[in-house]
Amino acid sequence: MSHAPIHLRSAHSADAGRVVPLLVEAMDHVALQLAGVDTWQAAVPLFVQMFEAGGNRYSHEYVLVMEIDGDIAGALLAYPGRDEAALAKPVLALLRERDPTAEPRHDMESALDEFYLDALTVAPAHRGGGHAARLIEAACEYALEHGHTRAGLLVDLDKPRVKHLYQRLGFAVDGERMVAGHRYEHMVRHLHV
């Protein structure tokens, strides 16, 4: 584990090559379905395009990056739940532009009254060092500073260790969602000063 200083910052469009592959891995089923492909690597070009653009739910504008010694150690994609539907519209438009015969749809993941933590990723070389928890805490602090009283996220039913991490950080299950044909538990954490 590195003892180098950790730097948290907003993502830039130029981070796409280093951040997008990590986010695509974290989004897993959702990324594959949206891109209409079978591998994470094949999904990356579409997500790079969206990451570099503004005004959509996968844009660099909504990504917090963690750097250690100039290396991207992790990233977290997050935005207000009330904005999810509007941020999904440009994604759907891009998908229709790429394939005019497609009829893409958006499955709502968040609740309107929460700050939604859409995708969390830590680079393989930095896993096990508590970086996921640091990113979540930073996002929750940001959410509280911007007037949100709760944070929400989805956890894959096939990932009990990830669910345990979220529970340890104060999240509790409050329902289920079906996204990209896959079942997830929706978890929330109430934010307090």
Instruction: Delimit the domains of the chain by residue range.
Output: 6-190
Average pLDDT along the chain: 94
pLDDT for 4:
75
Cα 17–Cα 81–Cα 57 angle in degrees, nearest 5: 25
Tell me: pLDDT of 2 over 70. no
* Domain 6-190: homologous superfamily in CATH: Gcn5-related N-acetyltransferase (GNAT) (3.40.630.30)
What pLDDT was estimated at residue 181?
A: 86
Q: How far is CA 139 from CA 11, 58, 97, 142, in A?
A: 13, 16, 33, 5
The burial class, CB within 10 Å (0-12 / 13-18 / 19+), for 90 is middle
For residue 193, pLDDT over 80 is answered with no
pLDDT the model gives residue 5: 87
Q: Where are the alpha helices (DSSP H) in the chain?
A: 16-27, 29-35, 40-52, 84-98, 131-145, 160-168
Report the pLDDT value the prediction gives residue 1, as an integer from 0 to 100. Answer: 46
| pLDDT score at 102 | 84
The per-residue pLDDT for range 44-57, each reduced to its tens digit, is 999 999 999 999 99
Is a pLDDT exceeding 70 seen at residue 8? yes
Model-level pTM?
Answer: 0.94
The 10s digit of each residue's pLDDT in 133-189 is: 999 999 999 999 999 999 999 999 999 999 999 999 999 999 999 998 889 999 999
Task: Inform me whether the pLDDT recorded for 87 exceeds 80.
Answer: yes
Environment class of 163 (CB within 10 Å of its CB; exposed 0-12, middle 13-18, buried 19+): middle
